[in-house]
């Protein structure tokens, strides 16, 4: 690993994907190669990438794991607009008009103006960008060391190679559906689908009824494409339940029950059902997410439901995922 090349630059290029506008993030090496990760497009992408670039520039690729950890803890400067409400007059002075106000033509019924100010805040990197840069770094390290990603991860975490066949998780998209159909009967343990990160009420339905209908469609398709197969249906809803139900775990449980019934006889895995706010106190937000997931797990046990909860690194940092696992807040961790 000491002979790996150095990183010389970080690029961000607009691109198109099946999910719409996206961003290609490239890690350039001193051997002339560029390795790419992709993420959803977001505001101020170029500005944020330019702040990340000094972390990686001139650093040896052999330190890729350390660099990924730095990304998790890095804070970027973001300019945001804040609304400042005018001070309310006290009851004693509300009806009085001073000499200054009288000269300036102030009328008692005039409403004081709301002020907008620009402030600079330090925030964590957007989760999608952390994923894209991390993915590009892993790809670069694996290629430069002539290893597969699996082998690289096994070495990094001190894992031994499995002797038996490893079941596959496959994401179904419009472009790979023919491939999925061909391997579904024998090799697929879970069939994944990502509902996207925007317009959850439109995509999922105000009470997840559209998502439930989609699960029934997936079940019907599996039954026709591979009658003897028994893959789990794995849905990544990108924090959709937070928008639909806010913090109401009871309503979330009801939605999970309906989805489980729609998926039967296939097992159901629900990934990233809730999310925390992008705030400076990310750790506090992730603790709140873990608390919600643990509550849901206990409710699932009481109701004897078999839905499994998962969290993935397209929405959460690796530190957050580790926290979820340690707190027993999820059954599964999804790493791309």
Q: How many angstroms from the chain centroid is the CA of residue 323? A: 15
* Per-residue confidence (pLDDT) for residue 19, from 0 to 100: 54
Q: Report how far residue 47's alpha carbon sits from residue 191's, in angstroms, rounded to the nearest whole number.
A: 37
Domain covering 1-79+113-162, topology: Enolase-like; domain 1 (3.30.390)
More confidently predicted of 15 and 209? 209
Exposure string for 24-60, b = 16+ CB within 10 A, e = fewer: bbbbbbeeeeebbbbbbbeeebeebbeebeeebeebb
Q: What is the pLDDT of residues 171-212, one digit of tens each?
A: 888 778 888 888 888 888 999 999 887 889 999 999 999 999
Q: What is the pLDDT of residues 231-244, one digit of tens each?
A: 999 999 999 999 99
The CATH number for 165-334, chosen from 3.40.109.10, 2.60.40.1730, 3.20.20.120, 1.25.60.10, is 3.20.20.120
| Cβ 294 vs Cβ 273: under 8 Å | no
Q: What is the pLDDT of residues 279-294, one digit of tens each?
A: 444 567 778 888 999 9
Domain ranges of the chain: 1-79+113-162, 165-334
Q: Report how far residue 200's alpha carbon sits from residue 252's, in angstroms, rounded to the nearest whole number.
A: 14
Q: Report how far residue 24's alpha carbon sits from residue 138's, in angstroms, rounded to the nearest whole number.
A: 15
């Amino acid at each position: 690993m000491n002979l790996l090349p150095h990183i010389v630059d970080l690029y961000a290029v607009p691109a198109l994907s099946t999910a719409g506008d996206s961003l290609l993030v490239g890690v350039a090496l001193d051997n002339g190669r560029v390795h790419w990760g992709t993420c959803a497009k977001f505001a101020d992408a170029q500005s944020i990438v330019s702040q990340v670039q000094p972390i990686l520039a001139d650093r040896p690729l052999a330190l890729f794991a350390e660099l990924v950890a730095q990304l998790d803890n890095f804070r970027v400067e973001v300019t945001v607009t804040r609304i400042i409400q005018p001070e309310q007059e006290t009851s004693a002075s509300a009806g009085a008009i001073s000499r200054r106000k009288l000269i300036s033509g102030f009328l008692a019924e005039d409403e004081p103006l709301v002020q907008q100010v620009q402030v600079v805040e330090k925030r964590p990197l957007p989760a999608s960008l952390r994923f894209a840069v991390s993915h590009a770094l892993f790809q670069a390290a694996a290629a430069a060391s002539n290893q597969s990603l699996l082998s690289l991860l096994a070495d990094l975490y001190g894992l031994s190679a499995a002797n038996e066949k490893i079941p596959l998780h496959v994401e179904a998209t419009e472009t790979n559906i023919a491939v999925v159909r061909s391997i579904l009967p024998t090799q697929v343990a879970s069939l994944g689908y990502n509902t996207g990160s925007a317009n959850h009420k439109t995509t999922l339905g105000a009470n997840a009824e559209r998502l439930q209908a989609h699960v029934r469609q997936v079940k019907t398709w599996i039954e026709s494409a591979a009658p003897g197969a028994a893959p789990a249906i794995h849905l990544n809803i990108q924090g959709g339940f937070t928008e639909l139900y806010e913090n109401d775990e009871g309503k979330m449980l009801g939605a999970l029950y309906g989805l489980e019934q729609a998926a039967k006889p296939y097992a159901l895995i629900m990934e990233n059902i809730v999310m925390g706010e992008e705030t400076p106190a990310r750790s506090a937000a992730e603790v709140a997410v873990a608390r919600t997931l643990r509550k849901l797990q206990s409710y699932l046990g009481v109701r004897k439901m078999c839905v499994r909860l998962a969290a993935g690194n397209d929405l959460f940092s690796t530190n957050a995922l580790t926290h979820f696992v340690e707190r027993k807040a999820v059954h599964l961790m999804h790493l791309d």
